[in-house]
Structure 1
Amino acid sequence: MHRETILFLLVVIIMGNSLMTAALDPKPTEQANLPQRPVLQPKETVPVTGNYVLKDPTGTSCIKLSMGVEYVVIEKKKPSYFNLDPTTTKTTGRCADKESVLSLAFLGKGGDLNLTFEKEGNLTYVSKITGHLAPGKGMKNYSGVIEHEKLFPTAAGRSLKCYSQTEFHLSENLRVKIVSLQFQAFKLTNGNFGEEVECRADFIQKIIPIIFGATVVGLLLIAVLSFLIIRDHHRQAGYDRI
């Protein structure tokens, strides 16, 4: 009888120790599921380009987007940075005939980026961008929005390609930079990008050197012509005196 009691007590003690160990030391899968938050960095780096696709309930792609995203937080005139990681980003949203919304949520409840695409006749564009960043417990959250815009206008059935960096000031303390952008909304053929259209920023970057070169050549021609005119004038003046 005493032996059975001792064995029972030993079992109770062993089980109690196991439960305490499990409570104090969660399993790796439980640790992996713990919510994470963005970590702001003091230095700027080039964000990784991610590919994001939004499909309607029938499985048809209504938005296809490729881009790199960097959040810039301004506090006391000092910037901090956070780059969107495609591997920890979830794509959601809604598809409609004239307005579709692509939502990118990342790192648990660490933040999101929402792009609203509108279709007006044969033209598609981004009309609204909202951003939210929650760096972590005890830290300030940042939110902002720009709306009623016609950003990146593109003909329906074509994709817009933009190598240039584009920066949006969503609020006093929050900015979003987008790099290596390519997107198409509403009308995709078999889920693929259509004919590429160059964005305005890339066009301007190409045309500025041409304008600068043409201006320099024009100034040189003016200088040469002025020199020739002045020289001829002096010659004619010399002939008159003789």
Structure 2
Amino acid sequence: MTPTHPCVVGIACFAILGCVTVAQALVTLEVTEGNSTCIKAELSASFSITYDTANGTRTVMVPLPGSAVVGGASSCGGDGRSPWLVALFGDGHTLGLSFSSNNSLYSVSNLTLQYNLSDVTTFPEANSTDVVTVETTSVGMVARVNTTYRCISVSPVIVGGATVTFSNVKMEAYMTGDDLSPNESVCTADQNSPTAPLHPPSTTTAAPVPVPTPGTPNQGSYSVSNSNGTVCLLARMALQLNISHFSALQNKTIQEVVNLLPNQTTSSGSCDPSSATLVLTQGGTTNLSFLFTLNTTSNRYHLSGLSVVAAWSDMTAPFNTSNSSLDYLRGSLGRSYMCSSEQTLAVDQNFSLNTFQLQVQPFGLTRGQFAQAEECQLDQDNMLIPIVVGAALAGLVLIVLIAYLIGRKRRPAGYQTI
């Protein structure tokens, strides 16, 4: 990346002045084998990356430039290997997308971002010159086989301590022709856009129809280990997904509540000094990703990002959404966060997550065990109510007892003269 590139102007503006407008090019990338194209993507992307400096941390916004090229690690797959699209850009930066398919659907199964901190133009005053690699399996790009995945809307993906934001995406893997299929699988954000309706128009706008809730979910235990096998994140929680989507069976938008089943759910993720990711996957239908961020100045952490991908049988298209600007589950470094009460974590207008019997610690674990817990305000309030009621009852009993004793003392002794 040279200082005269228009995209770099956007980066400098963000890093120094706090601007958020970054020039984004529409990039076309193709992976070919022989004379055939197996992956084609037309997209814009930018990367919000936080890194350490001598004076704390700094966040830059790095665009995927129009000069990005397909790297040699890209592949159409085969012989047990997944198809890979690897884009090279700037001074040693790469974006990699790995694909998988179950014959009816294909998806981006892994997103890898690699950035070079020795690139002083992009990362001024960085403490390190390392090449940092972060990845996630919670991407949210799912389409039906032999269709083009389309998502014009802005779609952020949390990956480690960075956020990759896509827009204007048209992409297809496992292609049978040399160009994108005219048939499209449209992302949830575009379905809800007034400029890109997917479902037949209705004469009235109705609120999502709620469906019966499945009851309180079971608590599951989940963990993440770092590269040397040490547990770096622990979580115990019962989870319930609340999603509004268009029902193919009912031909209308419904509000569906589904419990995450611990015995069918696997956990994965990654841990960095100031960020930790927990990814929960239930079969091939549900993928839920949590991003925890640590403020190294205050030694406080919080849940800063949540994303979900759901491909339930009644959905007309896979549902995916994310939010990387949340502020939930706040705790202190070296302590776990606990909340037995039900909490609702709102992500956007179409998705919220209900939590029950939750305890989580994403940083400062010792010997793979939870540290002393900090209770949430809801639990403290629930404990305070019976204490207040008990104190009030005790006070009332005391008042009655005092009144009785005063009454006895004033009663005259012996017989009264008639």
Same fold (TM over 0.5): yes
Give 1:191 shift. 0.2
The Cα shift of 1:67 comes to 0.4
Letter of the aligned partner of 2:371 in structure 1? G
- Structure 2's unaligned 5+ residue stretches are 1-101, 105-210, 246-251, 396-418
What one-letter code is carried by the residue in structure 2 that aligns with 1:132?
Answer: V
Q: So what's the TM-score if we normalise by structure 2? A: 0.39
Match for 2:380 among 195, 199, 203?
A: 203
Any residues of structure 2 matched to 1:1-242 within 5 Å, and which? 42-74=212-244, 78-108=254-284, 110-120=285-295, 121-136=298-313, 139-208=316-385
The residue number in structure 1 matching 2:116 is none
**Structure 1 unaligned blocks of 5 or more:** 1-32, 36-40, 219-242
The structure in which a higher percent of residues are helix is 1
In the alignment, is the contact (CA less than 8 A) between 1:143 and 1:170 conserved in 2? no
Q: How many residues align?
A: 185
Identity, % of aligned positions = 26
Q: CA deviation at 1:59?
A: 0.6
Instruction: Quote the offset at 1:137 in angstroms.
Output: 7.1
Question: Aligned to 2:383, what secondary structure does the other structure show?
Answer: helix
Distance of aligned partners of 1:58 and 1:172 in 2 relative to their CA distance in 1, 3 Å threshold: same
Larger radius of gyration: 1
**Alignment-mate amino acid for residue 345 of structure 2:** F
The CA deviation at 1:176 is 1.4
Residues of 1 paired with 2:239 and 2:352: CA distance?
A: 10
What is the SS of the residue equivalent to 1:194?
A: coil
Between the aligned partners of 1:214 and 1:172, the Cα distance in structure 2 is 42
Larger deviation, residues 76-85 vs 98-107: 76-85
Q: 1:94 Cα deviation (Å)?
A: 1.2
1 or 2, which has the higher strand percentage?
Answer: 2
Partner SS for 1:206:
helix
1:48 is displaced (CA, Å) by: 1.0
Residue identity matched to 1:131:
V
The 1:122–1:169 alpha-carbon spacing in structure 2 relative to 1, beyond 3 Å, is closer
Which residue identity lines up with residue 80 of structure 1 in the other structure? E
State the alpha-carbon separation in 2 of the partners of residues 117 and 188 from structure 1.
14
CA contact (8 A) 2:328 2:345 kept: no
Give the Cα separation in 2 of the matches to 1:198 and 1:34: 46
Q: Structure 1 residue 96: deviation in Å?
A: 0.4
Distance 2:394 2:218 in 1: 41
Maintained 8 Å contact 2:213/2:258 = no
1:77 & 1:139 partners in 2: Cα distance? 10
Q: TM-score, normalised to structure 1's length?
A: 0.65
Q: Deviations over 1:80-129 (max 9, x none)?
A: 22111112212111110001111111112x12111111111421221111
Inter-partner Cα distance in structure 1 for 2:282 and 2:234:
18
How far apart are 1:66 and its partner, in Å? 0.4
Which has the higher relative contact order, 1 or 2, with Cα contacts under 8 A spaced 6 or more apart?
Answer: 1
1:52 & 1:42 partners in 2: Cα distance?
28
Matched position secondary structure for 1:80: strand
